[in-house]
Structures are given as C-alpha cells and as structure tokens.
Chains A and B, each alone.
Chain A
C-alpha cells in the first residue's frame, strides 16, 4: 500500500505546469523526507497500538508481579522487607502449593484429553455432508455462549451431594451416591465435565474450519484408490490439520492450567476455596486465596510467577509433542510402505498378479502416498 504512494508523490512537483519557485524546493525536500519517513516508519505506527497496550496490560503487570514476589508484601499494609527469593522457597516447600499443582494437572488432563478427542470426532462428523449444516454447527457452539459462572452454578447443583440430580439418579438405580464435592477424584471429574461441556464445541468448530480447508479432491482420489473413511481420516485429515491441532492444544493447555471460575464456584459456600480439604483447589485459586484471604501478596505473586513459568514450559513441551505425534503418523506409514516394498522385492513370488513384473506401483499403500508434508498436498491450494 505504501509503496504505491511513493512514486506518485515524487513526480508531481516536476510535472507541475508552473516552474517551481525558490521556496518550493525546500518544501518538496520536506515532502520527500516525509514520504520516506512514511514508507519507513508508518508500518510501526500501525502495529504500535498492540504493543503499547500489551506493554501496559501485559508486560508491566508481569514485571511488577515479579517485584512484588521478592518482597514480604501484605495486601493491606503494603510492602514490607525485601526477602529475595524466600517467597519462592516457602511456596516450593508448602504442601498446599503442591496440592494445588496436582489438582490443576489432574483437572487439566481429565478435561483436555477427552475434550480434544471429542472435538476432533465432532468436527469430523460435521465435516460430512449433513443436512442443515448451520444448525448443527451452531448447536455445538451453544455451550460456549453461556457464561462460565452460569455453567458452574447449574453443574454445581447437578452434582450436589445430597440433593443433586446425578446422585438422585444413581440412588434410584440402586447405586451409591458419589461424594462429588468432598472427594478428590469425583470432584475433579465433575469440574472437568463443566470445562468439557463449555469448550468441546468451541474447539470442534476451530478444527472443523481447518478440515474444510483440506482439499476435497485428495479425499476423492484416496477414496477411488479404496481408502475407507477411517483410513482417510487418519491418513489425510489429521496430518492436514496439524497446525490447527497444535494451536488448539496449546490454547487448551493455557486455559486448562489457569482454571479458576469452575473450582471457585463449584462449592461457593465452602469456607475454604476449592473444597473443605482443598480437594479441587487449583493453583490460580490457591494464589487468589493467598492474596485475598490470607493477605500474602508477595507469596501469591511468587505462585503466579511459578505458574507462568510452568505454563510456558508446558506449552513448549506440548508444541514439541504434538508436532511429533502429527508427523510420526506420516513417518509410520512411510515406514510401513517401505517395509512392504522390501518384502515384495525379497520374495518375488509373493507379489499378487503377474509374477515378478513391476511390484512397486501395485502396492496400494504406496499409491495413496499418505505423507501430508509431501509436495502435492501443499501445492494443491496454490494452483
């Protein structure tokens, strides 16, 4: 956009019918400078809003939190002594901190894994030729529109121990009621259920968008070659949506490790946030409790920072891991193809059809070429 402006701005003074007067040259000099400035620097102005806002509401709090974490800081009476990394040491030695980490990861795994599997499956189903497509797509996003507070209040009621819907059903079926709010594992399942209910549809829609971008003719030719729906799903769809999958996994990780509303309101009347024995007190809830109930602002900031580091580390790990999963799919099938080819070559008689003649092209796995990173798929949309 900017580059088109420069040439049109330059020749104008020269093409002007009246010969330029003395002061005008100075002005055109200025104009030239301005336009060069425009070309060189105005893009930075356009991206500046984000970075200024990020600096104000992202970077500054991050640094300030770190400063707070190095002090013995009471929420009300303010900063006390400079204690260095003592707050971090105290927290690392605190069983309650580790308990919160355990709860966070337990709830995260119970929610993220089933959620992503379900989201991929739902997206694959929605990717088929359904009647009333928009209706189905809107339906899966519906839970996402409901605020988490409302979701939690409803689920909290459903999972009530003495009067809840789930336990009522269990007891009418002659089963023992489950202590959803006072036992560790059931409470984690209950909270994971809320998270899943809310986020599965959202992730499914993102994955669906990615699946829609997979070229149809790849599917068609694979189908012509005899690949079934399941085979096509694993050999074409999954590898093709890998970047989106990585994105969804990372956002799910960040969200999952910061979970707060659901455990906070699951048993809102509990005198200890996160269950009477801290059965489902997640790390964010723990740091909130530290800051606002126990007034340990410094220690809460230390927890916040450790959580930040954990999330970054976990995000990187996840990125690396999900890349490997998606590409190992391709690697495994390549290896499989190679092994079969070697097998055919070693035993010429085993090749079906006409003896030793040209074994390679008759192998269906080879013709399917399931490597998504190979050129043909990448070039398809560009053509």
Chain B
C-alpha cells in the first residue's frame, strides 16, 4: 500500500487525496481557513503550509537513493507547500510545525498578515468561541501585534440579504461563501469585489443575498464576517448546549444540531451527514426553531361546553377521553395519524386504538407540489410521511378526508399532531358533530377547534425516530427539558456550562421555559385500563417492538441509528415517494 511520512511517522493511504484532508482524517492538526472538504480548493489563505519532499529515485539501480545512515535521501520542494492542494504521493515526506521550525514560523507569520486588518472585535463578535481565526491564533499565531498603523476600514453591519449580515472588516477573503454559492447552492449571488486590502464578498449591485441556503455561508465563514440576522447577539456559543437532532421542516430530514440555552432552542445548524445533507441545510429549517419555543401548548386544554377552551389537569384530560371513548363504538371513531409526528407516536396511537377495536387508520401527507428543489428542499413538508405509511396508516387526501367525515359522520375524531384545518380542506364545521381530541405541540386552527387538546413534546423534547423521503430513519435526542424531564437525570441530554454549574434559583434559569407536555405515547399508554399493558417505558422500547413487528424495521435500533447516523429502510412504498 502506498505510504506517506508525516512528521517522521509512517501512514498508509488507500485512495488518492490531498495531504490536508488525509491529516484531518487521521486526527492530525494543521491550521487552515479556506479549505472545506465539500468545496473546491483555491489554496488562498496559505495557512496550511508544510514542508514536503519526495524520495530521490535512482532509475539505473531501480531503488531509492540512501544516505550514509541508510535513510532515503529526500528532495524537498524549494518552497513550502499548501497541504490542502498537495496530492498524496507514494513515499512523500511531510513536515509540519511539529518537526520543522520554518513551517512554524511561516504559520505564525501568515497569521500575522491575516490579522493585520482584522479588527479586534472578538468581545462583541458573534463568532467568538467558535471562530477558527480566534482558535488558530491562540494555537499557532504570534503573541502580540507589531502593527502600529491604522487598520483598513470597510463597511460594517451590511444587510446582505434577509438572513445574512456582513461585516466586511472581519473578512479574511477565504472565498468559502463565494464558492458555496457557486458550487453548492448554484445561486452565484456572491463575489469578492474590489482588490488588495479593500476587498470583501458582495452581491451584484442592488441584489439581495436571498439564496434559500444563504445561512450555510454563516456556518462556513471562518471569521465573524457573515453572521445570522436572526441569531445575531442572542447568545454566546459557550453558554449553549448542543444536541444532535434532525430537521423537522421538510421531508429530507437534514441532520442538525439544536443549540439551547435556558431551555430555549436558539438556533439550528447542520450536522454533517454524508448520506443526507453533507454539511448543509436549507434556511427554512433553521428558522423553524421558533416552533420549539413559541406558541406552545402547555397543560391539557378542554372545552367543557361550546365556549372557550380552558386548561385542565392531566388526570381530568385522561378521564374525559376515557369517558368519551366509552360512549362510542369503535366504528364511530376516526383515527388520523400524522406525518409530522414520530414513528413511535404513530405506532403508539395505532396500538392503543387497535386495542379499542379500531381497524382503520388514516393520515394526510403534507405535500406542497413545486416547493422542492431537488437538493435539500422537498415538496414534502413533513418529516415522517414514509414512517406513518410504513406503519400501515392509509394515505388519503384533504378533500377525501373532508368527504369521509361529511358522509360517515364519525362521533369521535382523534388526531395526532397535525394542523389539518390549517393546511387541508377541513374546516371547523367538520368537527362540529364529533367529539375531537388532538395531540398537539403548538396552538393552531386544529387544536383550537378541538374538544380536548393533549400537549405533546416536539422533536426538541423527545427521543423519537422519523423516516425521510428517501426512506432513511433517523432519530432525535431531547434538547429541551419539559416539566417532567431533567437534564441531570436523563443522561442522553446534554449539559452546558450553565446547566452544570447553575442551580434552579439562578437568574439565568427561567422555569416558564419548560413546557407542560409529555410525549404522545406516554399519554396513550395511560388510556390502557389494565395499566400500561404495552409495558413501554421509553420510546427506545417502542422502537424495539416496531423492529420486531415490521419487516421494514428489522434490525433498526436507537444504538444503530446513533452509530450510523440513520439507517436506510427498504420500504415497499419507495417508488411512490415523491422526492421532489
């Protein structure tokens, strides 16, 4: 196998590639700014310089030349090479800052150049704490500044587009954002303008940076030049918890990080997943974090008579639902699953109502034709249409459902978290003759029309699985506490500094941020009169049961989903799935 020597240590490589990427793959450190594994390689920051050379080959003898010690004679490139653009070659010798003083000096000097016009904004800069320039300067840079002159000033706080703000002074012209719009989102909206020390990225004249993927440039910006208009000045990164999750705003299910502080989700960023979204995600998915915080249903709501909904106790909600269920025969119950709810919750709904004798389960996919773009935005607006379908829920359309209710006149309608009135042809009148129970996360037209509303957890509060448009099952991890969960007790939840070192009585802890809700399955098992007949204690157990019951889910488990970043299911319905 071809070999490479980095800092006098031998490594073997299989596939051709670049030295920098090889080093990163092997956990070696080398500073860099402009390189990004998913973008082209311009080698313009010059930060990843290494000393490199090839062994001298004696063609006549057919062997490598050796010196008196028997070591290979190395012919080094006359100047330092950028590791990001240097191809792996059999026998190549690379010296980094660990073994070569020239490289060390070059890295420090290069950083000094990059920092010459970079403002000392860190205390007020959003990037601080997750800033490659800041980190690498601590690690490799010069200790102080020798620059005594006035720095070049450029425009600050320009609203580049609806979601991105540019601070041109901080820009180090790595061109990652430009390459992103040219190579990934293909909107070609950015370019570096002007030249020399005056240049910075900009859109065309009078154009907005309204790319539907614009916020990815904020992620890949190695400095605080591009910041998110929404997240700007909201929180320091070191105060937040980071929890792996998936995007709920469309059918692609991009892998994400949820960033929380004081039980509020403050931002969503993409998490690398080779199989789904690479390093990217659409802007819409990031702004969907509001759904986790705002307009949440807290405590069960019910409508005692034809008046307004009132809050009620969990016990009363449970007893009321049991009472209503006793009044009707199974044939008069209409159960509607949800592509917005998880596999586990839909399964629990099905199991629970099957026990009562209900045999037909419906769901309405949430498709908006034409909204997809073939990349990470799909026509499907729900994260779990394939999941519901695979559990045996029958697919129907809004119009067909309306007609069904009009003709069959069910006496009890049970809807899992889905705003059917808001998004389909159903109206409040459809619920007028039936008693309606809705499991909901946020107040919407459907919950307002219901007779009983059970508040349930969002993807940010429970561990549950979702199957995306391509049939890949992925799961979430709780990021926000509810009234009934606790970070310290649920070992799956992440703990930030404020959680570790704070107490309940600190002024940065707001009890009101914890919503009074439980996962839908937890409420559903309470309806079993013989007391938790299903025996579920966690959504993990439900998934184990699903894995046994449904061939498509064979060998699916939380551990495997965590290990492999989701599992591709072999769904029969795959051919029907619209992938936009």
| A and B form one complex | no
